[in-house]
Amino acid sequence: MLLLGVYGEGAAVNIARPILRVATPEDAARVEELMKESTAALFPSFYDDEQTASAVRYVAEIDPMLLEDGTYFVIESGDELIACGGWSRRNKLYTGSGDANDDARLLDSSREPARVRAMFVRSDRTRRGLGRQLLEACEAMARREGFTQLVLGATLPGVPLYRAFGFHPLEEIQVMLPDGVTLACLTMEKAIGVGAMTTAASARH
């Protein structure tokens, strides 16, 4: 949708309202381009040059399962992709550390947490609520499928967003990437069941 705003004397400017939608396999190349741009721009404030370069190669990489499962979202402004992120009903927690035999295993929503995966915002669009919008979409869809808990492995740039959204830290970990470079990360969790929603609502009043 385009909003027509008037600025100055008779000047009309078209402003594209960001639209969130479910990503498809056809989005893979554009999603990965966004991931790499965001990582290259934002990681140097938290990691050294070697770690950043390794993360661009191995972390900023789309997992085809997320697109095929229909649990990944993109946010577009006009014809530009400005943010992406999703969740998974499968066992894999994050991209970059190689594959495990049970990555594709479907989780048991009655006892296992859904995974929040691959959250990226274009570097010139941070701090505008896009990350929160993605997390809200992930939480809503996971809850509809019966999950009562979310878990994620956060790289350091994302920790403030996740804390603000109600995630609690579990454990500081060192993730080894395929080239042997390690990244300091933090596993975090959030309850999203009916009881958690009631508690959160009460805290706001």
**Helix, strand or coil, per DSSP, at residue 129:** coil
**What is the arithmetic mean of pLDDT over 103-112?**
93
User: Does residue 188 lie in a domain region?
Assistant: yes
CATH code: domain of residue 140: 3.40.630.30
User: Does residue 150 lie in a domain region?
Assistant: yes
* CB atoms near residue 174 (< 10 Å): 8
When mean pLDDT is compared across 17-26, 91-100, 117-126, 180-189, the lowest value belongs to 91-100
179 CB-near residues (< 8 Å, 6+ apart): 54, 57, 58
- Read off the pLDDT band of 94 (50, 70, 90): confident
Structurally, how many domains does the chain consist of?
1
**What is the arithmetic mean of pLDDT over 89-95?**
89
Contact of 136 with 75, CB cutoff 8 Å? no
pLDDT given for residue 99 in this prediction:
66
Structural domain including 127 reads 18-204
H helices present in the chain, as ranges: 28-42, 49-58, 64-69, 130-144, 159-164, 194-204
Residue 149 and residue 169: Cα distance in Å, rounded?
14
Top-confidence residue, 153 or 199: 153
pLDDT in tens, 131-150: 999 999 999 999 999 999 99
Q: How many helices (H) and strands (E) does the chain have?
A: 6, 9
- Read off the pLDDT band of 4 (50, 70, 90): very low
pLDDT in tens, 151-191: 999 999 999 999 999 999 999 999 999 999 999 999 999 99
User: Does residue 4 lie in a domain region?
Assistant: no
User: Does residue 11 lie in a domain region?
Assistant: no
pLDDT in tens, 16-74: 789 999 999 999 999 999 999 999 999 999 999 999 999 999 999 999 999 999 999 99
User: Does residue 9 lie in a domain region?
Assistant: no
pTM of the complete model: 0.85
User: Does residue 84 lie in a domain region?
Assistant: yes
User: Does residue 7 lie in a domain region?
Assistant: no
User: Does residue 6 lie in a domain region?
Assistant: no
Q: Is 100 exposed, middle or buried (0-12, 13-18, 19+ CB in 10 A)?
A: exposed
